[in-house]
Copies of this chain bind each other. A is one copy, B any other.
């Protein structure tokens, strides 16, 4: 079933203890789409400036990613992000942001995409997430991401959005910030009270956790690797595989969500083993299935 994603396309400069990657392709919608494309066709909605040096059609070549919703905006500049990772590399330090086209009006969802059943609203201003969502007629399952910037500066908009989505995927520290609880379970339960049926908490090197309104809990570790080159896009490729798998199954039942998170964990583990998109672009379904088997083994007693 059709999966729509809206999110950023960026020009990233990333520094980690393993090297520097300058002016490479990034952005939440890009990582998400490559990850999701292993599981389901993707409808892509995003905007770049006319300065964008990347040909997304080329990047997504051989993948079922429909770029009808990609807007190249004249007179605007592409979003840029520079960041670095240190120590245990759990969190990026933002060195510079140029919102550029992301600070303007959102892209338009093409009429042909308005019947999308599965929707992922990648991290952006919650007011824009709501405007994008309003253009989709009758979605079955909507998942949103957010970040500390919006929790701190646009809490009202974010709380409005949370009443309209089925699921929120959010980082550990941001969940605590949004819910004003130190205990992560209390934080998850408080977020469920704000609207969504399901909350998925991303915990970096510690993995991820699901809590839903029916009282289900699910906790998965990250795949253990000594080879963490660049964590950029880990969360977006996790979400991409999660939503791709859900769209493929045509269901967001808790059993499907659990397997979806396992696929998300595996795909994200490949993302961080190389700089930029390379870990994802080199990936294939066999490698995903093989690491999924290892993940299952290492949590079984």
Q: Give the number of times this chain occurs in the complex, counting copies.
A: 2
CB distance from A106 to the nearest CB of B (A): 35
- A contact residues, total (Cβ < 8 Å): 34
A183 close to B (CB within 8 Å): yes
CB distance from A251 to the nearest CB of B (A): 15
Residue of B nearest to A255 (CB): B301
Mark contacts of A254-274 with chain B using CB atoms, 8 A cut-off: 1 yes-contact digit, 0 otherwise. Answer: 010011011000000000000
Chain B residues with CB under 8 Å of A207's CB are: 206, 219, 221
Chain B residues with CB under 8 Å of A88's CB are: 176, 182-184
Question: Given contacts A203-B206, A206-B206, are A301 and B183 in contact (CB under 8 A)?
Answer: no
Interface segment among A40-48, A142-150, A224-232, A233-241: the answer is A224-232
Contact partner, A301, options B189, B203, B258, B301, Cβ 8 Å:
B258
Contact partner, A219, options B226, B258, B298, Cβ 8 Å:
B298
Once the chains bind, are A217 and B183 in contact (CB under 8 Å)?
A: no
Once the chains bind, are B87 and A182 in contact (CB under 8 Å)?
A: yes
Once the chains bind, are A301 and B262 in contact (CB under 8 Å)?
A: yes
CB distance from A8 to the nearest CB of B (A): 28
Contact partner, A221, options B87, B186, B221, B224, Cβ 8 Å:
B221
Chain B residues with CB under 8 Å of A226's CB are: 183, 185-186, 189
Mark contacts of A82-106 with chain B using CB atoms, 8 A cut-off: 1 yes-contact digit, 0 otherwise. Answer: 0000011100000000000000000
CB distance from A88 to the nearest CB of B (A): 4
Mark contacts of A7-30 with chain B using CB atoms, 8 A cut-off: 1 yes-contact digit, 0 otherwise. Answer: 000000000000000000000000
